[in-house]
Amino acid sequence: MILKKNVGYLDSIVRVLIGTLIIAAGLYFESAWGFLGLIPVFTGAVSFCPVYRWMGIETVNPNAERAN
């Protein structure tokens, strides 16, 4: 299955940063909740969010070509 990108460049950077902060907080507080940070890191890295697809949201700019 081919996933059409629906997460824009700025959105993906914000997701990776927030995910990294969640992972760091989980490590700092020695909590398993830090694993939840992997979700925004992954969705930001692959530029696809299944929740966005379900809701019909796209933050990607259709006029700008982005390298895979």
Spans of all domains in the chain? 9-55
Q: What is the DSSP letter of 59?
A: -
**Is the model's pLDDT at 56 over the cut of 70?**
yes
Q: What is the pLDDT of residues 5-36, one digit of tens each?
A: 999 999 999 999 999 999 999 999 999 999 99
Q: Report the mean per-residue pLDDT for the chain.
A: 91
How far is it, in rounded angstroms, from Cα 19 to Cα 14?
8
Residue 64 has pLDDT above 90, yes or no: no
Q: Is the pLDDT of residue 60 over 60?
A: yes
| pTM reported for the whole predicted model | 0.84
- CA 29 centroid distance within chain: 23
